[in-house]
Amino acid sequence: MRDLLLLVPLTALVACSGPRPTASSTPAADPTRELALMGSDAVLWQNASAEAYWIYEQAYEQAATKLMWNIVELAATYGEGQPRKPMAVIVDIDETVLDNSPYQVEAIEHGRTFDPQDWRAWTDKAIARPSPGALEFLLHAHQASCEVFYITNRETAERASTLKNLIAHGFPNADEAHLLLMDGTSDKTERRARVRATHDVVLLVGDQLRDFDERFKDRSVNSGKATVDALADSLSKYFILLPNPMYGTYRDAVQGKGTEAEKHARMKEWFQRNGH
């Protein structure tokens, strides 16, 4: 069954003979639909697999352990009676504390890729369920005297529906002061700095490495893996990464920007280049 849906575009590649097809020589009949199908295994896995479910639970269990270590270590850096900043945990929202895989499933079902209007229709409903383990972990962190800040690239127009969704499940600190939406840039560096100015940040959680450091946006050298190695110590101490094969920087780096036809062509080229 694996990659069954991927077989359509891949078979087309295998069937080609002669010079390697280029982006312009093998245009897809319906690039949007084919791009959507290229993501179908990822969406199926994220939405329906017990493996994804357990990886989330496992990651949040590890988050609780790291949180405790970091709280103890931070306390030791303060002298007796020295005034302290409040502690904070920073989390992303999508595919970190809320599960949007039902939106992705519906998109695949209709042969569609990400569409801002479809996305808004989904977030307006405010019905996303908590990611496995997320709510329990954040309640635990809050009990351990950490404020929770939600730094998300949802837009400011999604503020009310996002808060409604978080509040409905009882997420701690689900209020305007703790929700930092995208305001002009997807780069979260400045928003993280704003939290750090007033709080000691003891842990960050996200489904993208960029939820920890913007340097992970650059995937030009070895798909960004050298940056992981370079930042491994701080990643290991302060960051919990959750799985999300459905979308993100890894796929954007291959697809690039432009029309769906251009993105589809780049995806096909990637498969051609990276097979053995």
Which residue is nearest to Mg ion, using beta carbons?
A: 94
Q: Give least dist CB 27 to Mg ion, A.
A: 32
Q: Which is nearer to Mg ion, 207 or 260 (CB)?
A: 207
Q: Give least dist CB 145 to Mg ion, A.
A: 26
Is-contact 98 131, C-beta < 8 A? yes
Q: Give least dist CB 96 to Mg ion, A.
A: 5
Q: Which is nearer to Mg ion, 31 or 206 (CB)?
A: 206
Q: Which is nearer to Mg ion, 94 or 158 (CB)?
A: 94
SS (H, E, C) 196-265: HHHCEEEEEEECCHHHCCHHHHCCCCHHHHHHHHHCHHHHHHHEEECCCCCCCHHHHHHHCCCCHHHHHH
Q: Which is nearer to Mg ion, 9 or 130 (CB)?
A: 130
> What residue ranges bind Mg ion (CB under 5 A)?
92, 94-95, 207
Residue of 231, 217, 162, 160 lying closest to 185 (CA atoms):
217
Query: Cβ neighbours of residue 195 under 8 Å, at least 6 residues apart?
Result: 88, 90, 149, 151, 180, 201
Q: Which is nearer to Mg ion, 92 or 200 (CB)?
A: 92
Q: Which is nearer to Mg ion, 147 or 207 (CB)?
A: 207
Strand, coil or helix: 194 = helix
Nearest-angstrom CA–CA distance, 235 and 210: 11
Backbone angles phi, psi at 216, to 5 degrees: -75, 0
* Bridge partner residues of 94 (DSSP): 98
Q: Give least dist CB 57 to Mg ion, A.
A: 18
Q: Give least dist CB 162 to Mg ion, A.
A: 13
Is-contact 127 165, C-beta < 8 A? yes
Q: Give least dist CB 153 to Mg ion, A.
A: 7
Nearest-angstrom CA–CA distance, 129 and 131: 6
